[in-house]
Structure 1
Amino acid sequence: MPDAIDLDAYLRRIGYRGTLAPDLPTLHALATAHAAAIPFENLDPLCGVPVRLELDALERKLLHEGRGGYCFEQNLLFAAVLRAVGFTVRGLIARVLWNQPEDAVTAQTHMLLDVEASGERCLADVGFGSMTLAGALRLQPGVAQATALEPFRLLEHEGEWRMQACVRGDWLTLYRFDLAPREIVDYVVANHYVSTWPASIFVQQLVVARTTCDRRLTLRDREFTVRRVGAEPERRSLRDTAEIRRVLHEEFLLRVPDNAELERKLAALPG
């Protein structure tokens, strides 16, 4: 997949005006701005629309149409941006364990990035929904690393790594992975699986999220939640499609498509 990207359009989309260099401060700043500006969303698979991973399709959807996407879209776009800035980037794949037992065997359905920054090996992931990493982590096992929100850490055992976040005092695993670089075909296959498998959450439910420097916003079907570190979550149920569309636009910065199938899906959401 070609890596040439309209870098100026990307920087406008995320509102970034800082310096650009293949270093750790730039990586942190770009990841943080990306997570705050480009929402995680699954409107296409929810409506049966194919999710395309070609770079031109990602640029059109996420940069020019005011849309968001899920992990493959978000991290493939971010990888192209980082390469344009001068970073060395490798794609990885993970088994999601969020809200699963630690020993659960799940499919490899999540993409993250292995990035060289300031001579260090780091991990970036702008596409993990409600627990998206705003920033980057040094590839150092067993060390709590601060972010603007929760601290994160990496654990390693016999070549297997686990990404964890400290949520209300408990270290919870997001996913497990190894450091073997993956080819685009691995993401194409996983993307097809999660966007078309009838039991996939992305086919069954509305899932939208945005991560800022001080809060996490999520929408699951009609339940809109705002989470701040050290505070109780604020939850409310959205009444109708008009309120859902308003929240998608105002809170998630999402340009909502105007089509009959999406309107039907929104009206049928439980809650």
Structure 2
Amino acid sequence: MPHLTHSQRYLQRLGYDAPPPPTLQTLQALQLRHVCTFAFESLSTLMHLPVPIDLASVEQKVLFDGRGGYCYELNQMFLALLQALGFEARGITGWVVMGGPPDVRTGRTHRLSLVTLDGVSYITDVGFGGMVPSSPLRLDTEAPQATAHEPYRLTHHEGQYTLWAQVAEEWRGLYVFDLQEQVAIDYEIGNWYVSTHPGSTFVGQLKAALLAPGKRYTLNNTNYAVHSLDQPSEKRTLDSADELLALLGDTFGLRVAQLPALRTALEGLLQA
């Protein structure tokens, strides 16, 4: 299996000593292990830094520099791993509708992946923040699908799919996607908007998320929450840069000491 230097390190972080076979069981395990290992985070856009999305830069940042990333980084890295393992997989994109009407079309600013196994198509996504699905989802059914966390479902209309999650007995629309072929420039354009546009929900904002068995840890600017499947959510607001730095390091597993500009950005966030 050629060119697996970074993939081998990636697999080791996910608990594999050798490349697993390209099966549904492997895909399920890889997705769950990834979302419980690598944090979704927006530290770069908080600090108004560029977010390069060439694979070498992403692998350096996430596998070697102790960082996480967002969809254009994490889902690209995950897709490269799947392809190296022999999965039939490609990238697709969609429109985020979470927090708004599911029939409104925003920009194409979310990247995910399409995987086909034994003629059955699935979506796999490791880069959708606090509501990332923790298991792959079949495209050919609109029935609720169990994941390692909450139930999800997909609906289909005129070539477009909507992903829904069941939260507190309510189905909430997360994003809409289609199966259109995407090339590198499509991701570059979406990433350019997300990382630089004044209207982006990421520019100058702090977002972080990490999953654990039965739990979701989320940070939205200074609002921290632990969502559990079997008990009420715990929420609190952080009011100091020291608290935020400690949380990012201890809970989200990010190597923050090597980011001297981060404290300044966090202090600015607290004063906003």
Normalised to the residue count of structure 2, the TM-score between the two structures is 0.94
The alpha-carbon distance between structure 1 residues 207 and 175, as it changes in their structure 2 partners (threshold 3 A), is same
Q: Which amino acid letter does the alignment assign opposite residue 6 of structure 2?
A: D
Residues 11 and 19 of structure 2 are in contact (CA less than 8 Å); yes or no, is this contact kept in structure 1? Answer: no
Given the alignment of the two structures, is residue 270 of structure 1 paired with residue 270 of structure 2, yes or no?
yes
Helix, strand or coil: the match of 2:269?
coil
Specify the code of the residue in structure 2 equivalent to 1:138.
Answer: R
Distance 1:260 1:18, change over 3 A: closer
- Judged with a 3 Å threshold, the aligned counterparts in structure 2 of structure 1 residues 29 and 125 are, in CA distance, closer, same or farther, namely same
How much has 1:257 moved relative to structure 2? 4.6
Q: Any stretches of 5+ residues in structure 1 without a counterpart?
A: none
Report what 2:241 is aligned to: 241
Report the AA paired with residue 110 of structure 2.
Answer: H
Q: Which residue of 1 aligns with 2:165?
A: 165
Partner deviation per Cα, 1:71-93 (whole Å, 9 max, x = no partner)? 01000000000001100111111
Q: Rate the CA distance shift 1:219–1:16 in 2: closer, same or farther, 3 A.
A: farther
Deviations 1:54-105 (A, max 9, x none): 1111110000111000001000000000001100111111000100112222
Q: How many residues align?
A: 270
The residue identity in structure 2 corresponding to 1:198 is: P
Equivalent in the alignment of 2:132: 132
8 A contact 1:22–1:118 mirrored in 2: no
The 2-side partners of 1:91 and 1:257 are apart by: 33
- Work out whether 1:256 is the aligned partner of 2:247: no
Which amino acid letter does the alignment assign opposite residue 107 of structure 1? G
Computed over aligned residues only, the root mean square deviation of the Cα atoms, in angstroms, reads: 1.8
Q: Contact conserved, 1:5 with 1:81, CA < 8 A, in 2?
A: no
- Which residue in the other structure is 2:198 paired with? 198
Query: Residue 41 of structure 1 aligns with which residue?
Result: 41
Please report how far the alpha carbon of residue 263 of structure 1 lies from its aligned counterpart in structure 2 after TM superposition: 1.2
Superposition pairs of residues 115-194 of structure 1, within 5 angstroms: 115-194=115-194
The answer to whether the Cα contact below 8 Å between 1:115 and 1:123 also exists between their aligned partners in 2 is yes
After superposing the two structures, state which structure 1 stretch, 78-87 or 13-22, moved more. 13-22
Normalised to the residue count of structure 1, the TM-score between the two structures is 0.94
Matched with 1:229 is: 229
Write the mapping of 1:23-38 to structure 2, written as runs, cut at 5 A.
23-38=23-38
Q: Counterpart in 1 of 2:12?
A: 12
Gaps of 5+ in 2: none
Matched AA of 2:79: A
**How big is the shift at 1:20?**
0.6
Partner of 1:219: 219
SS in 1 for 2:69: coil
